[in-house]
Amino acid sequence: MTTMNTSMQPSQQDLPSPQRLRRATLTALGVAALLLVTVVMPAEYGVDVTGVGRVLGLTEMGEIKQQLAREAAAAEAAERAAAASGSEAAPSDATPAAEATPAAPTATAASRTDTVLVALAPNAGKEVKLVMPKGMSATYAWTSTGGAVNYDMHGDSTGVPNSYIPYGKGTRVEADSGVLTAAMDGGHGWFWRNRSGRDVVVRLIVSGNYSELKRFF
């Protein structure tokens, strides 16, 4: 009776040689370095040493991301400075309460101007709202870079159920502008959703009578 050899171990000839392994490793490292220089660095940091990133539209995306990060850091620093200044300017506990003069309520919000960059990954949605009293207005203009977006411009009153008021909406839109007038006291603004399948950045410029700009992201 003959015993069959059922061993499935590869022969020495089937195994890759050390030279082939080194070549495969060097090739993988070369591809990774090429992708880092031509794709990752332009798209994430706006650094384009080869010029390929700008041709593919990646460098502008990276520059916008870096600008967004700088603006966020500056806003955080400004908020910390404002909080520290407010703490120093607060009256001491020894000041009699009777001497304090209450501030008169303002009838309207002060006019101001803001620019906001909203980075949207594929399928992501983010919202920006202006806090305005009823009847106040703000002019706005927004554009999307990298692809079109879906948007819903609306208003609502904080803490009031079913207070949603639509101002307008659209699908696969790359830009919009106009005047937003508050139909009631509350938050009024935009919700954007990115269905393009690639990274998109929305740039919003708004100016008018609102007391606060809120970023929900």
Structure pTM? 0.53
CB neighbours (10 Å) of residue 182?
Answer: 25
Residue 149 has pLDDT above 70, yes or no: yes
Res 108: pLDDT: 47
Residue 72 to residues 38, 66, 76, Cα–Cα distance (Å): 27, 10, 6
With cut-offs at 50, 70 and 90, classify the pLDDT of residue 19: confident
Res 45: pLDDT: 74
Domains and their CATH numbers in the chain: 18-85 (no CATH), 111-217 (2.60.120.380)
pLDDT tens for each residue of 52-105: 777 776 676 666 666 666 655 665 665 666 556 544 444 433 333 333 333 333
pLDDT tens for each residue of 124-141: 999 999 999 999 999 999
Give percent of the chain above pLDDT 90. 44
Residue 189 has pLDDT above 50, yes or no: yes
Give percent of the chain above pLDDT 70. 65
3-state SS string for the chain: CCCCCCCCCCCHHHCCCHHHHHHHHHHHHHHHHHHHHHHHHHHHHCCCCCCHHHHCCHHHHHHHHHHHHHHHHHHHHHHHHHHHHHHHHCCCCCCCHHHCCCCCCCCCCCEEEEEEEEEECCCCEEEEEEEECCCCEEEEEEEEECCCEEEEEEEECCCCCCCCEEEEEEEEECEEEEEEECCCCEEEEEEEECCCCCCEEEEEEEEEECCEEEEEC
Q: What does the mean pLDDT of the chain come to?
A: 77
Res 61: pLDDT: 67
